[in-house]
Amino acid sequence: MDACNSEKLSDLNIEPPDDIERNIPEWVFPTQQNLPTRHRSRPDGVLVMPIKGRGRYLDPKQIPPKDRDIHLVGFNFCSDINLQQTLEKAHYQHQPLIQRLRKRSLRGTSQNNQVTLHVIPLGVGGTIYNQYTITPLLNLGVPTHKVHQLVTKLHCHAIKSLNKITKTRHKIHLNNNSDDGGSDGGVTGRAAGFRRARRRPACMADNPPDPH
């Protein structure tokens, strides 16, 4: 899963388990066919449970394909004022994967599994959307107090990341002006140098060296 990217997690001081899956396991797919386009779309997490009323299983691998309730979870940063475009893009990106995960039977809907995509957006400025950020987490069964703790952490993380990016870009801009003699910084620096050069003779005249 994308959420298990080692570099991203190490930046957050999180150590991922060694046995964690990086791709959707083959057993999750009803046909278990190794299609070359299967993993072009990777959500951040996958939750597999039995559909209510179709038995109880301790191991999700033991759930028959027709009885699986599959939840795909994707966390997406988005523009604080352009949420809809991010939601549409995520659904379009994962649609082929959803189709491959679905099992359809001619014998009726009782033989079909369920596949649900949960897109959880977070504004780059730390915006939390009640309907689209909090509601999907509640639908996944996360307790209300845990949801509020999580979105608070996500909000703070977004603010810190944005602040870090802004400082880095500002520093790069200043360094480029310093190295290239930027249109303003270079001219200003040279003018200041000329002014200092012109002042030196006057200073020496006001304070002549001791002849002794």
Tell me if 177 sits within 8 A of 184, measured CB to CB.
yes
Residues 6+ positions from 50 with CB-CB distance below 8 Å: 56, 57, 63, 67, 68, 69
Neighbours of 16 (CB within 10 A): 15
Enumerate the β-bridge partners of residue 123.
Answer: 78
By three-state DSSP, how is residue 114 classified? strand
Kindly give the confidence (pLDDT) of every residue in the chain, 212 residues in length, as a single tens digit, with 9 standing for 90 and above: 455 566 666 666 666 666 666 788 888 988 765 555 555 678 888 999 999 888 899 999 999 998 999 999 998 888 888 899 999 999 999 999 998 898 776 666 667 899 999 999 999 888 999 899 999 999 999 999 999 999 999 899 888 888 888 899 888 988 887 766 555 544 454 444 544 444 444 444 444 444 44
